[in-house]
Chain A
């Protein structure tokens, strides 16, 4: 090569290398040129809002941090926490509520209006969209075809605005379609109480509770409220360990399958699907005298025993007559319980959604009425759950028929997904074709939106103004979080202004439903309306006189009028009892779709975080499965992970099987949200093995605790574990000295329901990566906190397992580089920067709570939700170990603030400090400084039921568990 060639090649090479370069805009850390006075970079702001993940509409506080996003600094939501004092949830939040923050960041959110023409989809402008709607509305009106607005749960000001818009635009407002609401129970209340609504269940006042199918800890009504109420009913002292010894409160649960709710009840009664009505009729005839109730048919003991039994463990190996006698004796106890003071009955869930479900709901309502529960304040109709209109199967069928018949010109579907939620046989998808224009208002391209011509993207509640009325008279605020509440730019400077000046600035080209309605009024009806939905809301709030309360507390409570409880419509009741459904027995093997704590319907399946958290009973994370009862599995030779073919008239398909202990024979269960378009209950199902073995991510390595006393089922003090003296230390090295804090935790397993809210809270708070199914199959889940279910003879017990922050942490001495070390306040610290990844710490941890980063988990490809990351702690790089830190960032925050004020952290500040303790619906988790002898955690750690897991290993954990007690009957 000569010199010239060399230079040529050099030039060409450099040019080629430069071609690969891209210009990168410089990133500004702080975008304000003159920062506002009160603004401290890195300090979070909070906004009050309402959770919209389920109809319960809990109050939430959204923590947001200033982050550089889209070229400017903006407030990005990082964590939801229950709003303290809120009438629905009082500071707590469930797993779905905690996980719902991810909805805001998911990459598949709708980002602009879409038009679907001839099968192709393209983004259009809002103007274009309104143009098309406007002309379609005119055309429909000319053709005298109806314009229907079908929406999900709509309460508060939006409901009023919708009514106003409907009147002006000649829109027909269809009853709400909300599959997660108990339509049957509401209908039964209309028949029996004359009030078409769902009451608020004041379970905290109950002296005895019977739930029939109602999955009160999972999806029924307001699970967080119910869980908190249950804990109160068990033991009204909020700051004590739950003591059942002196309490007469007992909770019985009747269900056809085996659910988390059933696992937590004191007594479980197993019923053949459809048999709930018989059990209720039997109970009514035994409990309620009088002529009126005499119209309920008598159910013989034989008829009852054919449909009702007890969990397998209790009737195993009994002859039929013995079984029957035992069942009747047990039900006698139930009758006695219901005769007691403040007995409460709740029916719903799978029991009212099976054939004859409405009959069961009606009978339950009769029992409620007969036991005078409304009068006793157990059913609060005045502050009811606010479902003034709710579409049942009949209404939806009628709508489908009208659509098919071409009666509907324009159909709006807002926040509802009937295509996925209604059985395929209802033909809603096909019926949709009958309308001239179908408009979906949605946040995600769901099954219904995919069938619509126009898709209008909705803003998240986190980026819009709004309110909700989850209970009559209870208003809760929804405010955008994206900008600081008190700072408004004026000219060149910043002015502190009222919170109401907060600007809703969506991430994408989306609008809130209120703004869309106002736009419709403005453009189509040419009405003079408020400039924005915010202005409309402010005017409404002022008119109602709730503005001050909403801005002060986030919610406003007004006294609504008491609805008049009317006469029971006995004619309808008799009609109900005469139906085929009451007499008929459900036949053959049954396939039941049951709601779980992870999903009430398919909308939850969108959230990868919920897929990452295991189902509490099976510990399966990603994907679907069918739960098979052990007896059937044995007969058919089915094992965990075997693919089975399920054949029925309604649905045929294959799924992996999981043997579910405690599941009664004759029923297969699929978690709701997995099978779209399949009825809740399918009879006469055939199941057989296909011979293929599928991999399903079952996280638990063993359903039994192998007699290891992890959850001692023992009435002896400390579960029979030897209690070590506090100062006893047999270590080779000198013990740690802690001053002035030694952080510790106490978990009351009697209160813990295994609902997994803590797991979701922990994941969001601590930037725990979501790693996906493939890693879960290999045992590489990253959760810092997990709920371990252990199947015992009596049922299943749950134990939250997290880093125990041992005093003699086995992880600490084995780390060659001091990445695992002991902090002066007693935490097992983990220095990510120092960690080289020998993983010896995890090997030596008896609790195996450490998680290794097998991949670079922080990259956008692996973590599309990266913008959600909590800036208070790092995203761990590949190759390092991570684990629970007792939310060290939160500890440091309160500790430093206390230090600034020259004091120690108060117990009140520490009690619910960690994310898990903060959200726990039953307040089972308590955190605090164990050196403070006044603290709750100190008290609970010395409780008679207190024990440490694997105490004999002398790791001296900081987490004390209070073992569950077997209620003495």
Chain B
């Protein structure tokens, strides 16, 4: 792209060129030398991660008993975290791939951040199933690898599907993220010096911005989008089957796949807001990410929120309409039992709070959107908590009932990945073009 920017075109006015250079500078502002506050933030974030990993080391040494997980809730907030981060990962692909296919223009202000978010959060998510194993050092048992003892994995198990779904998703998202970034990396190369220039040069694969390159590039993007689009549906469906394929009341439901996918998009959009609003403020990107863009994202949030609300309603309705006493008792317990606060907070955050977006004024209020996005994050985390923990706590045989009490290890390993996530995002802002410069430029007149 650098070639394009430096070679004045006869057909374009010099003013336009200038405006485009301004876009480069505005967006690449984050790649300049950051202040000390930035490094403090990065260190703090990774500090949490290191602390969590140390706790995990202690768990490997002493035993999984250090956590609050127990019988009968053999899964708890590590699985909640897993589903939460997989959910967050969803909107990246949705915004990049599906909205690309639908030619929804507003996506280009969000897609790079969303893709970065996707890659980081899949990494976060992928950690939990391994951290959560009783014997994490044997995690390779979960992969089909040739052994002389002819041991194989069980393809009937949803956990095996999970391994494939998540790893596929990670690979595809990474490719998508990278391919989409190639022209922008070339711009970064142009502005960088020294070693960084070399690295960006290698990463941009010698991009020159010729018409031929552009032609192929657009096609690849489209193909990748077509390839990734079904993944948006499939990954979270598979994750939902971790639950839906079991017998457990509260898990064993056919509605789970669409319900989880909608929830994932909802939570992903929420997280995009959480990340983009401060970013827009700090890097003064108001010019590029306008209220109008937020407005469109809000509509997506409203839509998915209503699907999620519908799913909640349906679950309760089916439990009460059906003749399954276990299901009925479970939902009574969810709504009125030991975990009722989590349930009602979840309903408030995911179904009631987003209703405010029907009001245009609120939809256009950046502070409110930020608060709402935090509420959505909390609500969606609680949704998984309600699903995982309440169902396990009160299942078929009342003798086994018991209530989950987390320990510091549960919290430690949860906070750990928030640290990882935000730390990685900060690094992303500093070292990679944080918005799709090319696509923004296309719209600059």
Chain A residues with CB under 8 Å of chain B are 699-702, 704-708, 710, 733, 775, 778-781, 786, 788, 790, 801, 810, 813-818, 834-840, 842-844, 846-848, 851-856, 877-881, 949-950, 953, 955
B283 is an interface residue with CB less than 8 A from chain A: no
The smallest beta-carbon distance between A121 and chain B, in angstroms, is 35
Residue of B nearest to A813 (CB): B156
B284 is an interface residue with CB less than 8 A from chain A: no
Whether B70 pairs with A818 at a CB distance below 8 angstroms is: no
The smallest beta-carbon distance between B394 and chain A, in angstroms, is 8
The smallest beta-carbon distance between B55 and chain A, in angstroms, is 16
Whether B398 pairs with A705 at a CB distance below 8 angstroms is: yes
Q: How far is the CA of A701 from the CA of B402 in the complex (A)?
A: 6
Tell me the residues in window 88-135 of chain B with beta carbons closer than 8 Å to chain A beta carbons. Answer: 129, 132-135
- Interface segment out of the listed B17-25, B71-79, B211-219, B357-365: B71-79
Residue of A nearest to B135 (CB): A879
B275 is an interface residue with CB less than 8 A from chain A: no
Whether B64 pairs with A702 at a CB distance below 8 angstroms is: no
Residues from chain B with a CB closer than 8 A to the CB of A701 are 394, 398-402
List 12 A-B pairs, Cβ < 8 Å: A779-B70, A780-B71, A781-B71, A788-B397, A801-B399, A814-B157, A816-B159, A817-B141, A840-B74, A848-B72, A856-B63, A881-B134
Residue of A nearest to B393 (CB): A701
Residue of A nearest to B74 (CB): A839
Whether B71 pairs with A814 at a CB distance below 8 angstroms is: no
The smallest beta-carbon distance between B381 and chain A, in angstroms, is 20
Tell me the residues in window 132-155 of chain B with beta carbons closer than 8 Å to chain A beta carbons. Answer: 132-135, 138-139, 141-142, 151-154
The smallest beta-carbon distance between A401 and chain B, in angstroms, is 52
Whether A813 pairs with B154 at a CB distance below 8 angstroms is: yes
Whether B392 pairs with A843 at a CB distance below 8 angstroms is: yes
Complex partner residue of A837 from B62, B134, B248, B396, CB under 8 angstroms: B134
Q: How far is the CA of A835 from the CA of B159 in the complex (A)?
A: 14
Whether B70 pairs with A815 at a CB distance below 8 angstroms is: no
Residue of B nearest to A702 (CB): B398
B326 is an interface residue with CB less than 8 A from chain A: yes
Residues from chain B with a CB closer than 8 A to the CB of A880 are 134-135
Residues from chain B with a CB closer than 8 A to the CB of A707 are 325
Residue of A nearest to B329 (CB): A706
Taken residue by residue from 148 to 172, chain B's Cβ proximity to chain A (1 for < 8 Å, 0 otherwise) reads as 0001111011111001000000000
Query: How many CB-defined contacts (below 8 Å) exist between A and B?
Result: 162
B247 is an interface residue with CB less than 8 A from chain A: yes
Residues from chain B with a CB closer than 8 A to the CB of A838 are 129, 132-134, 159
Residue of A nearest to B245 (CB): A814
Residues from chain B with a CB closer than 8 A to the CB of A778 are 65, 68, 70, 405
Residues from chain B with a CB closer than 8 A to the CB of A818 are 151-154
Whether A708 pairs with B71 at a CB distance below 8 angstroms is: no
The smallest beta-carbon distance between B311 and chain A, in angstroms, is 21
Residues from chain B with a CB closer than 8 A to the CB of A856 are 63
Whether A844 pairs with B134 at a CB distance below 8 angstroms is: no
Residues from chain B with a CB closer than 8 A to the CB of A700 are 399
Whether A814 pairs with B159 at a CB distance below 8 angstroms is: yes
Residues from chain B with a CB closer than 8 A to the CB of A786 are 399
Residues from chain B with a CB closer than 8 A to the CB of A852 are 64, 71, 74, 134
Task: For the A-B complex with A699-B399, A779-B72, A840-B157 known, give 18 more contacts whose Cβ atoms are closer than 8 Å.
Answer: A708-B396, A710-B397, A780-B71, A788-B397, A814-B156, A816-B154, A817-B141, A835-B135, A837-B133, A840-B242, A844-B247, A844-B248, A846-B247, A852-B71, A854-B64, A855-B65, A880-B134, A950-B397
Residues from chain B with a CB closer than 8 A to the CB of A881 are 134
Residue of A nearest to B324 (CB): A952
Whether A779 pairs with B402 at a CB distance below 8 angstroms is: yes
Chain B residues with CB under 8 Å of chain A are 62-65, 68, 70-72, 74-75, 129, 132-135, 138-139, 141-142, 151-154, 156-160, 163, 242, 245-248, 325-326, 329, 392, 394-402, 405
Interface-central residue, B62, B64, B133, B400, by most chain A CB under 10 Å: B400
Residues from chain A with a CB closer than 8 A to the CB of B142 are 816-817, 836
Residues from chain B with a CB closer than 8 A to the CB of A775 are 65
Complex partner residue of A843 from B68, B141, B246, B401, CB under 8 angstroms: B246
Whether B396 pairs with A950 at a CB distance below 8 angstroms is: yes
The smallest beta-carbon distance between A713 and chain B, in angstroms, is 15
The smallest beta-carbon distance between A748 and chain B, in angstroms, is 20
Q: How far is the CA of A955 from the CA of B396 in the complex (A)?
A: 13
Residue of A nearest to B139 (CB): A836
Residue of B nearest to A732 (CB): B156
Whether A842 pairs with B71 at a CB distance below 8 angstroms is: yes
Whether A814 pairs with B395 at a CB distance below 8 angstroms is: no
The smallest beta-carbon distance between A799 and chain B, in angstroms, is 9
Whether B246 pairs with A844 at a CB distance below 8 angstroms is: yes
Residues from chain B with a CB closer than 8 A to the CB of A851 are 71
Interface-central residue, B62, B399, B401, by most chain A CB under 10 Å: B399
Residues from chain B with a CB closer than 8 A to the CB of A848 are 71-72, 395-397, 400
Whether B134 pairs with A835 at a CB distance below 8 angstroms is: yes
Q: How far is the CA of A613 from the CA of B395 in the complex (A)?
A: 23
Q: Pick the 5 closest A-B CB pairs, nearest first.
A: A837-B134, A701-B401, A879-B134, A854-B65, A702-B398
Residue of A nearest to B404 (CB): A779
Residue of B nearest to A780 (CB): B70
Residue of B nearest to A699 (CB): B399
Residues from chain A with a CB closer than 8 A to the CB of B158 are 814
Whether A834 pairs with B151 at a CB distance below 8 angstroms is: yes
Residue of A nearest to B407 (CB): A778
Whether B163 pairs with A816 at a CB distance below 8 angstroms is: yes
Residue of A nearest to B392 (CB): A843
Residue of B nearest to A782 (CB): B71
Q: How far is the CA of A213 from the CA of B298 in the complex (A)?
A: 73
Whether A837 pairs with B246 at a CB distance below 8 angstroms is: no
The smallest beta-carbon distance between A952 and chain B, in angstroms, is 9
Complex partner residue of B153 from A704, A816, A844, A949, CB under 8 angstroms: A816
Residues from chain B with a CB closer than 8 A to the CB of A835 are 134-135
Complex partner residue of A855 from B63, B242, B248, CB under 8 angstroms: B63
Whether A810 pairs with B135 at a CB distance below 8 angstroms is: no
Complex partner residue of A810 from B62, B71, B247, CB under 8 angstroms: B247
Residue of B nearest to A707 (CB): B325
Whether A879 pairs with B329 at a CB distance below 8 angstroms is: no
Residues from chain A with a CB closer than 8 A to the CB of B242 are 840
A700-B399, A704-B398, A846-B397 as given contacts; A733 in contact with B156, CB under 8 Å: yes
Whether A702 pairs with B63 at a CB distance below 8 angstroms is: no
Complex partner residue of B64 from A705, A801, A817, A879, CB under 8 angstroms: A879
The smallest beta-carbon distance between B290 and chain A, in angstroms, is 47
Residues from chain A with a CB closer than 8 A to the CB of B138 are 836
Residues from chain B with a CB closer than 8 A to the CB of A817 are 141-142, 151, 153-154
Residues from chain B with a CB closer than 8 A to the CB of A816 are 141-142, 153-154, 157, 159-160, 163
Q: How far is the CA of A814 from the CA of B74 in the complex (A)?
A: 14
Residues from chain B with a CB closer than 8 A to the CB of A877 are 135
Interface-central residue, B64, B71, B245, B325, by most chain A CB under 10 Å: B71
